[in-house]
Amino acid sequence: MKDIFQANLLAGKAAFITGGGSGINQCIAERYAAAGAAVAIVGRDLAKAERAAAHIVALGGQAIGLSADVRDYDQVRAAMAQTHKRFGRLDIVVAGAAGNFVANAKDMSAKGFRTVVDIDLVGSFNTAHAAYDYLSKPGGLVVAISAVQGSMPMRTQSHVCAAKAGVDMLMRSLAIEWGSVGIRCVGIAPGPVGDTEGMRRLAPDGERSWERLLRHIPAGRAGQREEIAALALFLASGAADYINGVVLPIDGGQTAVGSYEFGAMLQDSLQSDQAAGGAA
Ligand code: COA
């Protein structure tokens, strides 16, 4: 992918990224660090967060790995305080931690539903709320990593659809409350992105599900983590100063088509998984 961004675009800034130990969020952390930001990578698994941070440091960037479960406000707040103390400031917060599994609503326990809502929605609130005191004002940015499920109902995804719709409204609501102090709140809603834990969970039978899904994406391919990270970098740049209170789809046109085929694919992969006796 051609790099159109100015060098050191985020020099002197600091970012806090939940779920930054892998996938899209790790890619965002690396992109921010390559643009000159100091980044805190936060996750439930400290070793994973520290590995991701060490990788950035090995490439010459500035990064720390911290442990926090986004469902636990006090843990998130403590990690935020540590980040601010270490870097002396906080400019960008990415609420990226998420959970997903494939299950029909009638077969899901109440705890299963709540677990995803707790990670995705409550976790995003915890992260944004804990950041408020520390974020630069003006100049602060909260980015929530939503998903196309936030705007498209989908079979086997009632928990994620409900949680991500909440995340979208949370960003739009916080934007209204925090705009006056100079904090922007924006959502990014990716469609299927290749080589991520999320898609491994959604398409456990790999190639076959992917081929079926991609036939219904106008771009004819999955997204790349680097493309999501480029959008996150753009949003953190001065060029996006007037973008606030919106959720931007980045899905190759999937939202325009609708979710029917994606949901049908998930339903089939769930059934074949159950027939094989495995757990989703
Ligand atoms: N089908 C139905 N229910 C499921 C399930 C599945 N495939 N996987 C988990 N659950 C339910 C569990 O049964 C449990 O409810 P119960 O005790 O009533 O049976 C509940 O969800 C909580 O599961 P648990 O594994 O204890 O929670 P956790 O906090 O350790 O894990 C998850 C959270 C469930 C979201 C787990 O999938 C996870 O850790 N995901 C993180 C990684 C991820 O999802 N990445 C993709 C990002 S898009």
Regarding predicted confidence, which is higher, 276 or 157?
157
Distance 104 CA to ligand 1 centre (A): 14
Report the pLDDT value the prediction gives residue 3, as an integer from 0 to 100: 85
Map tokens 């950035």 to a residue. 56
Give the pLDDT mean for 1-15. 93
Closest CA to ligand 1's atom 5: 101
With 70 as the cut, is the pLDDT of residue 279 above it?
Answer: no
Give the pLDDT mean for 18-38. 98
Report the pLDDT value the prediction gives residue 278, as an integer from 0 to 100: 58
Residue whose CB lies within 8 A of the most ligand 1 atoms, among 26, 115, 167, 197, for a mutation test? 115
Mean pLDDT for the chain overall? 95
129 pLDDT tier (thresholds 50, 70, 90): very high
Report the pLDDT value the prediction gives residue 280, as an integer from 0 to 100: 43
Cβ < 6 Å from ligand 1: which residues? 98-101, 103, 108-109, 111-112, 115-116, 119, 197-198, 201, 279-280
Report the pLDDT value the prediction gives residue 212, as an integer from 0 to 100: 83
With 60 as the cut, is the pLDDT of residue 105 above it?
Answer: yes
With 70 as the cut, is the pLDDT of residue 41 above it?
Answer: yes
With 80 as the cut, is the pLDDT of residue 207 above it?
Answer: no
Report the pLDDT value the prediction gives residue 162, as an integer from 0 to 100: 98
Distance 59 CA to ligand 1 centre (A): 34
Class of domain 14-198+224-252 as given by CATH? alpha beta
Give the pLDDT mean for 9-24. 98
Report the pLDDT value the prediction gives residue 10, as an integer from 0 to 100: 98
With 80 as the cut, is the pLDDT of residue 2 above it?
Answer: no
Distance 102 CA to ligand 1 centre (A): 10
The CA distance from 36 to 48, in Å, is 22
Closest CA to ligand 1's atom 1: 103
Q: Which range is least confidently modeled, 20-24, 130-134, 206-210?
A: 206-210
With 60 as the cut, is the pLDDT of residue 185 above it?
Answer: yes
Distance 13 CA to ligand 1 centre (A): 35
pTM of the predicted structure, to 2 decimals: 0.95
